Amino acid sequence: MLNGLRGRLNWWRYKLSVLNSLGGQFPRSCPICGYEGLFSSVGVPPRADGKCPNCGSYERHRLFHLFQDRHQLIKPGEAVLHFAPEASVRRSIEAVAGKYVRADINPDAADIVLNIENIDLPDAEFDVVVASHVLEHVDDGAALSEIKRILKPGGRLIAMIPIVEGWNQTYENADVTTDEGRTLHFGQDDHIRYYGADFRDRVKAAGFKLTEYTAQEPDVSNHGLLRGEKVFVAAA
Ligand SMILES: [Zn+2]
């Protein structure tokens, strides 16, 4: 009886501590909007200090911005095509791009409707394609070959993906066909795989040369980033 009570009390203490953490654990600074202070949690289950309360940026958006700033992933004046365009990344691109086009499969989400597996654009049209958290949703072989086709010679794909670096092999499973199954197996109801370290082989097999930029300290603790998260830059 007493043990049961103690167990329930601990469970409530645990739930309260999770609730408490939602409003921010440590002060962070946002490289996108300049906000300094507590961040909020984002996602289910929550990622503490994931979201800037001022501009709404997530960890991956801030990482993209930092590396764009530091390494000029996109060079001034370049023509950029941005798939599934997130507002926080848009700001970073628009500050530097000469031409900027946002594309999505959903007509309400962007400037033009494009299917990344079968891109309705001529060859060698863009200097840079940005696809952050897109490839895990689609036939990536088709998408990578289409992206390569519409890039100018020397153009680059900037890609971010969820990846399990401890896996040598990407996990795909044809038996997983429901929303619930995809959430269980791939982390989200519209993901169709979970990448392993061989993501790199897929990109190289499509004819790209790969460079990687990794979230490290002190950036991780300063800006609320995901440890080890990567920005992949694939040169056509
Ligand atoms: Zn911000």
Ligand 1 centroid to residue 60 C-alpha, Å = 12
Q: Cβ(116)–Cβ(157) under 8 Å?
A: no
Ligand 1 centroid to residue 130 C-alpha, Å = 20
Q: In the predicted model, what is the mean pLDDT of the chain? A: 96
| Omega before residue 107 within 30° of 0, cis | no
Please state, in angstroms and rounded to a whole number, the distance separating the CA atoms of residues 144 and 135.
Answer: 9
Does pLDDT of 1 surpass 80? Answer: no
Q: What is the DSSP string of 103-164?
A: EESSTTSSSEE-BTTB--S-SS-EEEEEEES-GGGS-HHHHHHHHHHHEEEEEEEEEE--B-
Ligand 1 centroid to residue 55 C-alpha, Å = 4
Ligand 1 centroid to residue 57 C-alpha, Å = 6
User: CB within 8 A of 79, min separation 6: which ones?
Assistant: 97, 98, 99, 100, 101, 125, 126, 127, 128
Mean pLDDT of 217-232: 98
Ligand 1 centroid to residue 28 C-alpha, Å = 10
Domain ranges of the chain: 1-57, 58-235
Q: What is the pLDDT of residues 27-75, one digit of tens each?
A: 999 999 999 999 999 998 899 999 999 999 999 999 999 999 999 999 9
Q: What is the pLDDT of residues 148-159, one digit of tens each?
A: 999 999 999 999
Ligand 1 centroid to residue 162 C-alpha, Å = 22
Is the model more confident about 2 or about 32? Answer: 32
Task: Give the model's pLDDT for residue 44.
Answer: 86
Please state, in angstroms and rounded to a whole number, the distance separating the CA atoms of residues 223 and 123.
Answer: 38
* Beta pairing partners, 131: 83, 159
Ligand 1 centroid to residue 172 C-alpha, Å = 35
- Of the candidate CATH numbers 3.40.50.880, 3.40.630.30, 3.20.20.70, 3.40.50.150, the domain formed by 58-235 belongs to 3.40.50.150
- pTM, two decimals, is 0.94
Ligand 1 centroid to residue 47 C-alpha, Å = 16
